[in-house]
Structure 1
Amino acid sequence: MTTDWNTDPEPSDPNANSDGTPDSSAFLSALRLSDSFLPVGGYTASYGLEQYINEDRIEDGDDLRALIAAYLRRVVGPCETVALANAHAASAAGELEALLAVDERLHAVTMPREFRESSTKAGAKLCELLAETDTDDVDAESSDGSDADGTDLETAFADAVAADETPGHYPVAFGVVAQARGLSRREACLAHAHSFVTGLLGAAQRLGRFGHTEIQSVLADLESVIAAVCERHVDDEPAAMVSFAPLAEIMGMRHERAGRRLFMS
């Protein structure tokens, strides 16, 4: 059976208040999921950025801005955003088999071992964290039937990850939990891309090359790229999922054998 997920214009917000204003819970969930304070291990990943700096390939804010923009256009957009958006759609439709297929596809197109490990560890941790902290909220949503499909699938996906039946990549887990908490596909994609960018900028700062002001300047400049990338790829089919960033992948592979490492990837 083929489900036409990606042509849905998301006409109305099912979580809106009676007067039509958005429910603040979805917005607060987006802030929570995109915050570096979320303890899923993102602070341990630089996705090859550390190796770029170790090899003196990044000298100033312009270099950093260009590198992260390339990540967004070559990896986050056509790969992780596609996975997240389709995971969100599968969650909304209650299609576990389709969700697992998205996870397997993302695993197949993520080449560097460190990148795969960082993503799957963060995905498993997100599932574990929300199972421990959001039980009451999920039970309340399920009891009145308002979000039964999303919460049921979230539990099923978490169980599959725990049983090693699926890799459990972070963008896929993110899409599932975002849908269950009322975020639209675009909101979920924007939150994830923003989180990815702030994670890399935080890594660059901790590596001692950039100060707070320069980091904020780069972040402000990248907002338009985040928005454009998410808009371009939010409606892509799973088969379109692809990553093409050869130098970034090489940096990630070199990082595996680097003698000096602050980050896991």
Structure 2
Amino acid sequence: MSSPGETQSLLRLMTWLSPAFPVGGFAYSSGLERAVHDRLVTDAEGLRGWLSATLEAGTLWNDAVLLATAARAADDGRQLAELSELGLALAGSAERHLETLSLGRAFLSAAAAWPHAVFERLPRDCPYPVAVGAVASAHGVSTEQALAAFLHAALSQGISAGIRLGVCGQQKGVKILADLEARVSAVAELAAASTLDDLGTSTIQADIASMRHETQHSRLFRS
């Protein structure tokens, strides 16, 4: 049986990574809109492959490593500041930089409803995964749980974007999320034991799509 403290931490994590939490994640597609425009992603199977690659070898993997590192450094303001600078420097395009910075700022502003000294240690310009990792750890959430919830929320947002872009319907979107469940668990476990030496991506097409999105004339999303 879970203790009252564990249940409370879980409820907070669910709130912070809920689609209703006011961070504005619905406005971003992390380059997916351009991939659809360029017909790199045309159907549900393509969306599943795109999200899977992002999870295991793309920006989501780097975000997971940053989150885990921030969780371990939650009591050290200097480390959090250095990690935030690194996280922002890793953004592969201007819009990805805007995305992680805007979400990070919005998350810290909204999560301040649960007061904690960790907010004083975090810099104002804080990338989203660093903010989530530090705040979750400070409130007693295990790193692996925070990672699983963070990755699940990111994939859910990607699927939502895919649905709005006409790539698939809701039923196939749910099937994608179910198919990726085991991979989310595996990546969360790996990332929980990761270090900054594990940072790195190999999703060149996704990086190019993110950069090309900046000059796209007609679009639904900010990245």
The amino acid that maps onto 2:16 is L
Residue 218, structure 1, aligned to residue 176, structure 2 = yes
Q: What is the 5 A alignment of 1:41-80?
A: 41-76=24-59, 78-80=61-63
CA RMSD of aligned residues (A): 1.6
Secondary structure at the counterpart of residue 10 of structure 2: helix
Contact kept? 1:109, 1:243, Cα under 8 Å? no
**Sequence identity, in percent?**
27
Pairing partner for 2:72 from 86, 89, 102 = 89
- 8 Å contact from structure 2 (residues 118, 135) kept in 1: no
Give 2:63's aligned amino acid.
E
Is 1:195 matched with 2:160?
no
CA distance in 2, matches of 1:243, 1:108: 14
* SS across alignment from 2:117: helix
CA contact (8 A) 2:54 2:61 kept: no
**Cα distance in 1, alignment partners of residues 197 and 119 from structure 2:** 23
Give 2:111's aligned residue.
Answer: 130
Q: Is the 8 A contact 2:133 2:146 kept in 1?
A: yes
Which of 195, 202, 206 is the matching residue for 1:244?
A: 202
1:152 aligns with 2:117: yes
Q: Which amino acid aligns with 2:121?
A: A
Matched, 1:112 2:93: yes
State the one-letter code of the partner of 1:261. R
Contact in 1 for aligned 2:76/2:121 (Cα 8 Å): no
Of structures 1 and 2, the larger Rg is shown by 1
Letter of the 2:89 counterpart: A
SS at match of 1:23: helix
User: If the length of structure 2 is used for normalisation, what is the TM-score?
Assistant: 0.94
Deviation of 1:209 after TM superposition, in Å, equals 2.7
Q: Which is worse superposed, 56-65 or 42-51? A: 56-65
- 1:102, distance to aligned residue in structure 2 (A): 1.5
Post-superposition Cα deviations, 1:194-219, rounded to whole Å, max 9, x if no partner, equal 11100101111112232110100000
Residues 73-107 of structure 1 deviation map (CA, whole Å, 9 limit, x = unaligned): 1124541111000101111xx11111112212222
C-alpha contact 1:105 1:241 (8 A) present in aligned 2: no
Uncovered stretches (5+) of structure 1, i.e. residues with no partner: 1-15, 139-150, 162-166
Q: CA deviation at 1:33?
A: 2.0
Q: Which residue is equivalent to 1:263?
A: 221
